[in-house]
Structure formats: structure tokens, C-alpha cells
Structure 1
Amino acid sequence: MFVHYVSSDSNMISLLSSRMNFWGYSTINFFSPMTRYSSAGTRNCGRDAINEFKLLVREAHKRGIEVFMDVVFNHTAEGNEKGPILSFRGLDNSVYYMVAPKGEFYNYSGCGNTFNCNHPVVRQFIVDCLRYWVLEMHVDGFRFDLASIMTRGSSLCDAANVFGSPMEGDLLTTGTPLGSPPLIDMISNDPVLRDVKLIAEAWDAGGLYQVGTFPHWCIWSEWNGKYRDVVRQFIKGTDGFSGAFAECLCGSPNLYQAGGRKPWNSINFVCAHDGFSLADLVTYTNKHNLANGENNNDGENHNNSWNCGQEGEFASIFVKKLRKRQMRNFFLCLMVSQFVQQETRRLEVCHCG
């Protein structure tokens, strides 16, 4: 779950309604829970919301349920170089963000800015934040959104760290992928954080894709995006995917065995909180994000989906039966695959959109 205090993105409020962007992922305060998720709201300066979150975690633990936080350390709510001054920009713009020589922001996150994760000041901030949520709030683990950004070097980083290959005398450009990222090293060897569960979304919006190769210290798990893509292709009947599908069922040893990891380091999923839902996968061959006024430019175009013969929710009885069968096939694949399955509520209830 995502609970950091986030911007309500007033610039995204519809001019035709009072609805607000509820998606989150534009963090303002990394140490505070989002008060509108709490029945206490902002009462007692937010302290009641903190206590309510602790109660939630305690009650979950009583029932044998672990609590994972979805954390976003790849960007903040301050937008690009023309964005508002809300926090870090006012403290030290060039320390907290990846800034190009002329002052524009690097945008590996797709959200206007990129948090300068491997700067010494920033990585200490991130580690302190994670430790707070473990020691004070008692969460059991973290899923890191666009975690590949956390492997990118800050400005003028030592080139000897690129993929473990020394290049003496050279300096790296901002954002170069590092073989042993200082931040990942700090997290992996921290006496508190090394004992919680760590899950990386091992890619970013800048094209860095590290599924199977994310720096892991043998303790990091990964969102297995290759599992998602292969299973979608196989279930819809695309030729040439039977071998890759068999690997997926066995915990993707082709990705994780050589690096000293195990099947449980693969987080298998077909659908997630963003992108096509399970019902969408069997209802639409193409995305139709028209209602939000973005002219269908937002969202992923490469979904490996199949509409079972008719595009859209209104279809013949035969097509609807086929769609239900395909959804059961997806669910079965997820259940019989080693090792860790990730489901979403809308997977279970066949929610579209």
C-alpha cells in the first residue's frame, strides 16, 4: 500500500468536477502517512493518524498478515524545473535532484524530476526514512517504485563504479547506471533494513530495464515484468513462448539462479495497480484512455492483450464466455507458478479500467 503524504495535484483537478487525483505517487512528506486515509484526518496535528496506522499494522500482524509499503524515491511532487517550491527545491535543488548544466531536470521518472538517490545527503535521507517506517511504524517490507532510478549515479560520480568496471580518470554523466549503487549498498547492509523484505520494480521511465540484473546483494526480490509479459503472450496464443512460459512456472531460474538468488526472489504477477486489469487484458486489444482528456496519450501501449474477438465490454455471449475462460487461465498460471504470487483486488472481481 502507498501511504506517504502526497500532493493532491491541484493542477489535475478537473475543471468540470470537484474530483481530485487520488493516485498518490507525488510525495511531499516521506515521514508522514497520508491523513485523508485516516478516520482521524489531521486531528491532533496528524498524530492521531500516525497512531491509527500503527494500530492497523498491529492488528494485521495479529492475523498473520505482513504489511508492505509502496515507496516512491524516484521523484517528488515538485515537478520539473518550472515546478513549485515545496520542499527539497528550496533546500538545495542541485543536491536533491538530477540537474543538467543549464538547470533543466533529468526526467528518468516520467514525472518531471528525478531524485538524486546516490548523492550522499539524499541516500542518507532515504535510509533514515526507511528505518523510521520499520522501527517506529513496524512495517515488514517495501516495494520500491521505479527502483532502477536508485541505481543511477549522481552528478560527476566516480566512473570506477560503472557495472563494476574501473575507468580511471573519467567521470560519469548524471544518471549513468552503477554496478554497485551506494544507496542499494547502504540499504542492503543496514542492520535494520537488511532483515526486512525488499522488492524492486527493476525499471524506470528512462529506458533502464534491470529485471534479473538488479543489484541485489542476494536479498532483493524483483517485480518480474518478464513473467507478466511472457504469460500474457502464452495465454493469448502467441507462437514461440512455450519454453519461456515453462521457465516462468518454475520461478524464472533463467533470471535468478545464476545470481545466487532463489525462486522466491521473483514476484510473479499478471496485473498490478496500474496498467490493464485482468478484465482489460481480455476485453481490449488496444488501450482507450479517452475519458480523462489526455487524448489516449497516457498509459502503456504495449500490453500484450487480446479482446477475444470483439473490442470493448459489449460483446456476444460466446466472446464473454471465452473471456471468462481466459481470466481463469491467467489466474491458474499465477497460482501454480513458483514462488511468490502478487494479486490485486481488481484481479479477483474482474474490474475493468
Structure 2
Amino acid sequence: MAANKSGQGGATIFETGVDFAVWSHNAGRIELCLFGDDDKELARLPMQRGDDHVHRLFVDGLKEGARYGYRADGVYAPDSGLWFDPSKLLVDPYAKELDRPFSHDPLLGSFGADTQHLVPKAIVTRDVPVKQIKPLFKPGGFVYEVAVRSFTKLHPDVPEAQRGTVAALTHPSVIAHLKRIGVNAVELMPITAWIDERHLPRLSLRNSWGYNPVAFMALDPRLVPGGMAELRDAVAKLHGEGIAVILDLVFNHTGESDRFGTTLSLRGLDNLSFYRHLPQRPGDLVNDTGTGNTVACDHPYVRQLIIDSLRNFVLGAGIDGFRFDLAPVLGRTASGFEGNGETLTAMLADEVLKDRVMIAEPWDIGPGGYQLGNFPAPFLEWNDRVRDDIRCYWRGDDWKTGPLATALAGSSDIFGRNGGQATRSVNFLAAHDGFTLNDLVSYSGKHNEANGEENRDGHNENHSWNNGVEGESRYPDIIRRRRDDLKALLSTLFASRGSIMLTAGDEGGRTQRGNNNAYCQDNEITWMDWPALDDELVAHTAFISGLRKRFSVFSQTGLLNGNGDVEWISPSGRPMTVQEWETPNFSTLGMVLATRDEQGGKATRLAVLFNRSGGEEVFTLPGSASWRHLAPDAAKKSVASAIVPRRSVAFYLES
């Protein structure tokens, strides 16, 4: 056995053995623990500290598949930010595969209690690089947000053994659905190893979203039992169907939580270095995330861990891009958010990562945490203002005609600042966090009683409406009104400038029974009921997705500015007047777009007509040319005016 001379972390296989390396500035000693298949410890070996604070060891004769963990000894003084406890088995931050999922137990946070029998063991794996290709996803495309387990857990065609796993995404029936509705990229909610929040076991609940990670690189065995090989195979098959894969990753906090939480990895290795602490009070963790701790993403070691994690998924599986949860944390320093900070800059400059799509959730709950529009290009950003403005428009709120037009045109008020010419908006109506789209038009308030917190959790303001009855209804009129509202909302989203995102099941009326914080419902509340999907809604989504692909104007990202690219009209067919824009309850809007029709290969105009009123509206279409209604059942005749039904969006093509 000899000192390891490789990088700052991980297990590297060589012909004669395995190199181990782990970084800690404050640990007095770190030991490598090796385990047999029966979970018994085979050896506990001291590691050698280098001048760079990387503890290294080369183990002769060790091979791929070996199982291991670390123990770190040093000062235990939580009030000083030091949590060294050699009784705690620690997961390698560079682990790429674990032998089991994490499971919460009070002993994981109890000083002096040995956790060898509770903590997953890392598995020594060999990197298998894939052939790199340019990312399939381009800004302006259609992203489909997927919770891997919930998405296929109840799919009738997927073999039972595969349901709820990454492999299930490649089943022919699943791929057929993705292609039917025109998905350009699936965005997989976290598939790296996570642990349940400590209050969930006593409520007999489990985390179903995965936004509570422990190891940034290790795939969770519940979702990806075949490890990196399974992910690599799934990505290749989806790529073969023209569908990109984006991973939703969490670098802002870990499942070790606050000072009453667990010691599993970073906390035990060097809590003081890896997490943010209050000035002058190193025992108190900064909580910019609402989850108990905040990762110090500006620390050089953490920065490199993040970069290496991203490179691992690109080089090892061919991932097209990433979405970052609570992304301002990536740009936080002691003085606040820095859009040009070293970590964000390093992510965009890395040779492997610089052509990948990067998507920021541009807010956290810390000081100055709302950073929409402030991430460096080419970051795309989730746009909650578009979400809220479109919701409020269709709910019937006053003063929403102008905000609707701004959202449709690419949000120039946000992305046109400082001379910006292109939108970086990811427009969405609903996401994993909040109401489903169907619940948005079926519930006036949240109903989170099943979460065990007496309905106190989750957002109180959802900009929702129930169409006359709270929750499920058998009244045909209520069902029809809700379906009409869903069609109008979907049409509005697909007609907006920028990238768009739809959460799995929203195309077919999926419900979570009014639960707007269903992170802890690993059950029928979140599992997608495929037979119950509304095929009329799915067909409508497929149709408008086809229109989005057919007309180039929707997937382009330049901000619409009214200089020949768009005209805003009232039902008279004339440009909107100042008075009409400023009428609080104005209920109609026409958007006439200059576009290329990819089906015919020529330049033309497309009119998108919005009517949120309770009765039909007649629009006079502009110009002397005739127009043709684009709808699955529309007659193929030319008209000069359009009849737009109540609570709907209509598309007319200049002929």
C-alpha cells in the first residue's frame, strides 16, 4: 500500500490496485474502510495527508467492485463548526455508485453511535467514456419534466421490474408518448442518491422527488439500479429517437441538514469547509435553502466537485445539459450573489461543459435570493413571472393584457436588460413544486393534509381557480369548462417565445388531489395514472406542439419587438390602442406573427387569437389576404374573420 498521487477525490482503478483520495483541511486523520459483500469490515487503513490536504492511499490488489467508506477523526466541537466523529462511516463525495439507498435513522445524527450498518457503501467502478455528440436540445425547444419513479410506476405496458426506473423511460410505449406530444428533451428530476427528511419516517412518508441529496455523483439505486450503465443506455436510446436528456441536480444543500441532522459525508469530512456558516458564529449553518444548510459553492474544493460531477454525467452518459435547483447558491459568496462568480464562470468555461444546456432555477430564500434575469448567458432561466402572468390572465385578473403580451414575446423586461437581444426564458405553467395544471383550474386553495403538517406547508397563493366546485366533480359542465381552460393554458404556453417546459402528465389532466407540495407522497397521489389521462387533452397538446415545430417563430429566441415580427391587434383587426391596453378587464388579444412555415417552406403570417371572456368573440383578420383556421377538425376554407369560442386560443394561417 502506498500514497495516492491522483486528483482530489475518488477511487481510481489501476492494473495493480486502486487509488483512493479524499480532501479535508481540518480532519486530524482519515481512514479508508473496506467491506466484504456480507457488509463486514475487512480492513481499516490510515490514509496519508498531502500538502494539498488530500488524504491518499493506494491499495494493492484491490479490484473493481470493492466496497468502501471513510472515517474521519479530529475535534468534535459543533459550536465551532467541527463535527469529526470516527464512529460515523462516511460516503466518498466522489462515489459514483452505492450498494443501497440511504435510509434515515436517528443514529445517523447521534455522536458516538457507529453507523457502519446504516450507511451505504461506495462501490469502486471503472469509468466507461461515451462518444460525445453535440447536445440535441436547443434553446426554444420543448422540455418535459419527469419524476422518474412517479412517471412509470403505474404504466401498464412497462414490465413490473422496470417500473419507476430510468430504464423504463426507453420502453416503446413511453417513447411513443413522448414523440406523440413532440418532446425535445426530458428533464429528469434528481436521480442522484438522496435521503428522506428526518420528520418523514414518523409520518410513514417518503421523499418522492429526490431534492435532498447526499452524494452528488452517485446514482440512487432505487431509480437507477443498473448504475451508470443503465443511465448511459437510456440516454443512447432516447438520443436515437431525437430526444435529449437533461438532469436536474441539487448542489445548493445536502441531506445532512441543520445541526440536528445526519453525519453522512461532507459534514463528517470537513463541515467547516463545505457549508456556509454565520459570521462570528461558526456553529450556526446558513440556511439560504430552507432545508437546514447551504453548500459553500465558492470553496475551491466544492467548485471542483461540482465541475467534476457535471463532467462525470457528460463523459459517462452523454447527458445534454443540466437544470440547477436553487441556482443562486452556485453564485453566492460571503458578500452575496455574483453572476460572474468563479463557480458559474468555471461551469461555462469548462471544455466538456461549455456546449451543454444550463438551466437555472433563479431563486433561493437567502438575502437577494431572487435573481431572475441575472444569470450569465447562455444560462436559461425558469421564469415564474410568465407562469404567474399567464395564470392570472386566464383566471380573469385585471391589468393582465400587457403582461400576457410581454410573456408571449420573450420577456424583454427581464432579458432585454443591458442590451439583451434574445430571451433566455424557460416558460412554464406548472412544475413539480406546486399545483398540477389540472389542479390549477380545479382548486382555489391547497389541500396538503396528507403531508402531515395540517396544511401549513406549500405556497398559499397559487393564482388558481376551481370553475365553481372545489376539487373533483362529476358535473359535465364543470368538466368541460376545466378542459377548455386547460386547452387555453396549454395553447398559450406553446405559443410563447422562448424554451417551454411541461411537467409530465399535465398534457393529460393529471391530478394530485389539490396537493401543491407533494414531495413526500411516494404513492398514488404522485404516481402518474396513465389510463386516466384525458386523451382529448393529450391530442390537443400534440396538435399545438406540432404547430410550434411547424412555424419557426416559436422556437426562435430573439425578443419580439414589433419591428415587422409581431403585430398586436384587437378584435377589430386594427392595432391595439393605448386605451385597449389600459382597459383593466380587456378580454381579447390578437398576436400576428411573421414566420416561416416549415411545412410549406415559405414566409407567411400566423394569427394567434386569445379570448378569455365567457362568450365567443369575432376577430377581423388583418390585411386583404384570406386566412385559414388551423385546428384538427377545421374546415379547409379561407375566411376574412375568425370566430373564437369562449375561453380559448385560436390559430389562423394567412393563405
Corresponding position of 2:213: 27
For residues 211 and 243 of structure 1, do their structure 2 counterparts lie closer, same or farther at Cα, with a shift above 3 Å needed? same
1:176-229: CA deviation from partner (whole Å, max 9, x where unpaired): 2225222111112222212100000000123611112x231x211101111101
- Report how far residue 9 of structure 1 moved: 4.3
Distance across 1 between alignment mates of 2:196 and 2:234: 23
* Structure richer in strand, relative to its length: 2
* Counterpart AA for 2:288: Y
- Report how far residue 143 of structure 1 moved: 0.3
User: Is 1:313 matched up with 2:493?
Assistant: no
Instruction: Give matches, 1:67-82, under 5 Å.
Output: 67-82=245-260
For residues 264 and 135 of structure 1, do their structure 2 counterparts lie closer, same or farther at Cα, with a shift above 3 Å needed? farther
Corresponding position of 1:248: 407
Corresponding position of 2:240: 62
Corresponding position of 1:104: 284
Q: What SS class does the counterpart of residue 268 from structure 1 fall into?
A: strand
Distance across 1 between alignment mates of 2:235 and 2:201: 32
Corresponding position of 1:211: 372
For residues 150 and 219 of structure 1, do their structure 2 counterparts lie closer, same or farther at Cα, with a shift above 3 Å needed? same
- Report how far residue 98 of structure 1 moved: 0.8
Corresponding position of 2:359: 199
User: Is 1:142 matched up with 2:322?
Assistant: yes
Instruction: Provide the TM-score with structure 1 as the length reference.
Output: 0.86
- Conserved? CA contact 1:335–1:341, under 8 Å: yes
- Conserved? CA contact 1:211–1:226, under 8 Å: no
Corresponding position of 1:279: 438
Corresponding position of 1:166: none
2:295 to 101, 105, 115: 115
- Conserved? CA contact 2:427–2:498, under 8 Å: yes
Instruction: Give matches, 1:139-288, under 5 Å.
Output: 139-154=319-334, 172=335, 176-206=336-366, 208-212=369-373, 214-216=374-376, 218-259=377-418, 261=420, 263=422, 265-288=424-447
For residues 145 and 260 of structure 1, do their structure 2 counterparts lie closer, same or farther at Cα, with a shift above 3 Å needed? farther
Identity %: 38
Corresponding position of 1:164: none
- Conserved? CA contact 1:14–1:20, under 8 Å: no
1:12 to 178, 186, 200: 200
Instruction: Provide the TM-score with structure 2 as the length reference.
Output: 0.47
Corresponding position of 2:272: 94
For residues 264 and 62 of structure 1, do their structure 2 counterparts lie closer, same or farther at Cα, with a shift above 3 Å needed? farther
Rg larger for: 2
Report how many residues are paired: 321
Distance across 1 between alignment mates of 2:339 and 2:245: 30
Distance across 1 between alignment mates of 2:403 and 2:199: 44
* Counterpart AA for 2:488: N
- Conserved? CA contact 1:6–1:25, under 8 Å: yes
* Counterpart AA for 2:285: F
Corresponding position of 1:45: none
- Report how far residue 234 of structure 1 moved: 0.5
* Counterpart AA for 2:308: D
- Report how far residue 339 of structure 1 moved: 2.3
1:32-51: CA deviation from partner (whole Å, max 9, x where unpaired): 1111113xx3xxxxxx4211
- Report how far residue 262 of structure 1 moved: 5.3
- Report how far residue 329 of structure 1 moved: 0.8
- Report how far residue 257 of structure 1 moved: 2.5
For residues 261 and 132 of structure 1, do their structure 2 counterparts lie closer, same or farther at Cα, with a shift above 3 Å needed? farther
- Conserved? CA contact 1:147–1:201, under 8 Å: yes
- Structure 1: state its 5+ residue gaps: 42-47, 155-171
Distance across 2 between alignment mates of 1:240 and 1:104: 45
Instruction: Give matches, 1:290-301, under 5 Å.
Output: 290-301=449-460
